[in-house]
A and B are shown apart, each in its own frame.
Chain A
Amino acid sequence: MDFIPLHDPIWQRLDGEDGPRPHPAPRPHALLSLEQWHAVRESWPADLPVGMVLPNTADVATVAADLPRWSLVALQFPKWTDGRAYSQARLLRGRHGYTGELRAVGDVLADMLPLLQRTGFSSVQLRADQSIASARRALRFFTGHYQGDVTQPQPLFKRQAA
């Protein structure tokens, strides 16, 4: 799990004064909204790494065809107890074959780390008051789980049988 500072030095949103610029000019490591992507997707150079911020209401099946072009997908937790992004992550990894960076952003707590990891997130931007040490510790309590997940697709009953 990678811990990304709140001000990411690499991936940048392309915002103007009134929010996302409607037709951003291509640049590497741009982090776009879906609206921006739809405006530029035909003209965006294939070799420029591009990332996407998806709202947790997005149906990830509708973007499946574009996934190979994205290097980063950021899924949002507007409140940390809003668990929709866990399902989005599980579907992106398990059903739609997304292999790029999958990042949790928003109201992200250290205690969410086990869930994030198991549903396929590979990086997080913790909320400002959260400690990376607590987040790392949160990943160490359990050595195994009952049900399968993205990192360990086989549930306990299949692992035991093997």
Chain B
Amino acid sequence: MYRYTDFDRHFVRARAAQFRDQLQRHLAGELADEDFRPLRLQNGWYVQRHAPMLRVAVPYGELSSRQLRMLARIAREHDHRDAGLPTERGGFGHFSTRQNLQFNWIPLTEAADVMDKLADVDLHGIQTSGNCIRNITTDALAGIAPDEDVDPRPYAEILRQWSTLHPEFAFLPRKFKIAIHGAREDRAAIGWHDIGLQLHRNGAGEVGFRVWVGGGMGRTPVIGTKLADFVPWQLILVYIEAIVRVYNLHGRRDNAYKARIKILVKAEGQRFVDQVNAEFDALQHGDALSGAHVIPQAEFDRVAACFTPPPVLAPGFETADDTDAPLAYRRWLGRNVHMHKVPGYRAVTLSLKRAGLPPGDVTAAQMDGAAALAERFSRGELRVTHDQNLLLPWVQAAELRALWQAAQAGGFATPNIGLLTDMIACPGGDLCALANARSLPIAAAIQERFDDLDRLHDIGDIDLHISGCMNSCGHHHSGHIGILGVDKDGSEWYQVTVGGSDGSTLSGAATPGKVIGPSFAADEVPDVVEALIELYRRERRRGEPFIETARRLGPQAFRAAADAVRRSTALAGAE
């Protein structure tokens, strides 16, 4: 993991002190709500349905056990409420699709104290919200995936530092998300980001970036446009500065729904590309500040030295004989354990998708439990995955069985990674003030409907994504099955899409799913999902996952299957 320097520590402390000053002025009535709002957002503080929500940045998803223990402590000491439904009670955190952690029940009056505690473990909420460059996300298997050409983490860290409190880009037209990976498979959904970066080597072995721009979800789903095939790594800050400057000056600010860079890229087409290239050129020639942000080899080396792999193990490390192992263990090996770049090691997903708990939620006790697993089995390091699980990146193969037993005891061993119940869901209308509908009851009903492991494994790989509104925090556009909460006449309805892709090998080129007819009532949704799954099971060819069958049959077949299980909406449609 990146190791904070004195400068880095001083910096997050300064940020906490600045926020405390702003908060005090706000609480004293000197800083009005509408002026305080953008300031608190850029520190991760939303005001939500019941209380403020704090979004803590987990830079490119890397978390130490020490940091996770502090998050547990914050959950216990600050995130609490005594009444309400179990899903509405405090004392827990929620891992989001952007690899961050959210708390839902911290009183604003305690906000500054929480920021100080976060700073104690090199954490903060800088730019986790607001119209600025957000937390940079990456492949949860960064630095450990066998198919990786270039480890993206040092570049992600350099980008994190460059984008942190950038004075020119703090008030962009809209939020701005960058994702980066360096593998053959895209596990970071880069096509869906404002800027998507893929590290690769050219014929001469030099490292550079393929750059896409203008992807995004929301009301208008758009896949990014490729802008460059090879930007030398030394120039990536300059290149991104050019993109963001063109966006800052020319992006629309008259309509929040048309303010993302994707709209500018679509509207301007080649002119946008020309403007970026002209700005990139101007930055390198004839600019008093030119050259300053060309990354020196020494700086890359300094940062990269933080991301050293563990020592290679002595021969004979993979001794485990699992032929007599119980089915549950073999299933866990098959779903939750991933191959590793370093011989003798495995990556292991701790499933946060289990019956009775919302996807991505962890209680304070579970955070401590996951931290203990990381300390015992993974050099004290964890990753937050973009599908809302935790991952242990440095597990020795010989210790898998012991880890499995410990993970079972902690409730992290559900062998469902990549399966239907490993769904993505935003917090939805239970907690979020933006939501049009609730996500969690839908997720819970589907969890319950598909709780049989034999059936889950028979259905196989599938991405089910649920968002409570068009803001798409639950990535419904990229789900093989996507569910979107919509509000009509004050009640909750759910639009269902089929065939979306995040860009992974399984899912194919990134693309939004297709809507299969008018919205469904909440109580119809589990039946609809089941109908889509049953259609797939009837029609699938040998070895064909859901997404391929979905593409082969097309949305009409799925629409017919879904229509067949309508009840209230069938009656309404007949009127």
- Which A residues contact B (CB, under 8 angstroms)? 80-84, 86-88, 90, 93-95, 97, 109, 111, 114-115, 118-119, 131, 134, 137-138, 141-150, 153-158, 161
Contact = CB atoms under 8 A, between A and B. Distances in A.
Contact of A157 (B17, B167, B170, B299): B299
Contact of B296 (A93, A94, A157): A157
24 contacts: A81-B171, A83-B172, A87-B249, A88-B249, A90-B167, A90-B168, A90-B289, A95-B282, A95-B289, A115-B167, A131-B30, A137-B21, A141-B21, A142-B11, A146-B164, A147-B161, A147-B166, A148-B293, A153-B289, A155-B292, A156-B7, A156-B161, A157-B295, A161-B296
A87 B11 contact: no
Interface string B151-187: 0000000000110111111111000000000000000
B168 to A, nearest CB: 5
B14 interface: yes
Nearest to A86: B168
Contacts of A150: 289
A146 B161 contact: yes
B35 A109 contact: yes
A154 B39 contact: no
B38 interface: yes
Contacts, number: 116
B287 interface: yes
Contacts of B35: 80, 109, 111
| A-B complex: 7 closest residue pairs judged by Cβ atoms | A83-B171, A118-B167, A157-B299, A141-B18, A146-B161, A94-B289, A148-B292
B162 A147 contact: yes
Given A82-B253, A161-B296, A119 B17 contact: no
A143 B10 contact: yes
B248 A84 contact: yes
Interface in B217-254: 237, 245, 248-249, 253
A83 B172 CA distance: 6
A156 to B, nearest CB: 7
**Could you say which of A114, A118, A155, A161 has the most chain B C-beta atoms within 10 Å of its C-beta?**
A155
Given A86-B168, A143-B10, 18 more contacts: A83-B168, A84-B249, A86-B170, A95-B287, A111-B35, A114-B165, A115-B171, A119-B167, A145-B165, A145-B167, A147-B161, A147-B162, A148-B289, A153-B288, A154-B292, A158-B292, A158-B296, A161-B299
B167 A114 contact: yes
B68 to A, nearest CB: 25
Interface string B263-305: 0000000000000000000100011110011011011001000
Nearest to A127: B35
B170 A144 contact: no
B131 interface: yes
B25 interface: yes
B162 A146 contact: yes
A13 B249 CA distance: 26
B162 to A, nearest CB: 5
Nearest to B38: A81
A122 B172 CA distance: 22
B298 A161 contact: yes
Interface string B421-442: 0000000000000000000000
A87 B248 contact: yes
A158 B234 CA distance: 13
Given A93-B288, A141-B17, A146 B168 contact: no
Interface in B432-478: none
A154 B288 CA distance: 11
Contact of A119 (B30, B31, B168): B168
B22 interface: yes
A87 B243 CA distance: 12
Contact of B165 (A97, A119, A146): A146
B163 to A, nearest CB: 8
Contacts of A109: 35
Contacts of B166: 147
Contacts of B289: 90, 94-95, 148, 150, 153
B206 to A, nearest CB: 20
Contacts of B18: 138, 141-142
Contacts of A84: 248-249, 253
Nearest to B302: A157
Contacts of A155: 162, 292-293
A97 B288 CA distance: 8
**Could you say which of B35, B168, B253 has the most chain A C-beta atoms within 10 Å of its C-beta?**
B168
Nearest to B162: A147
Nearest to B13: A141
B292 A111 contact: no
A146 B159 CA distance: 10
Nearest to B25: A134
A115 B170 contact: yes
Nearest to B170: A115
A148 to B, nearest CB: 4
Interface in B2-16: 7, 10-11, 14-15
Contacts of B167: 86, 90, 114-115, 118-119, 145, 147, 149
Contact of B292 (A82, A95, A118, A153): A153
A142 B11 CA distance: 7
Contacts of B245: 87
B169 A83 contact: yes
A147 B165 CA distance: 8
Nearest to B288: A94
Nearest to A114: B167
Interface string B25-41: 10000110001001100
Nearest to B251: A84
Contacts of A115: 167-168, 170-171
Nearest to B20: A141
A137 to B, nearest CB: 7
A88 B10 CA distance: 30
**Could you say which of B31, B165, B171, B295 has the most chain A C-beta atoms within 10 Å of its C-beta?**
B171
A27 B97 CA distance: 60
A111 B288 contact: no
A133 B293 CA distance: 34
B233 to A, nearest CB: 14
Given A81-B131, A81-B171, A137-B21, A95 B288 contact: yes
A83 B168 CA distance: 7
Nearest to A59: B249
Given A83-B170, A118-B167, A157-B295, A142 B288 contact: no
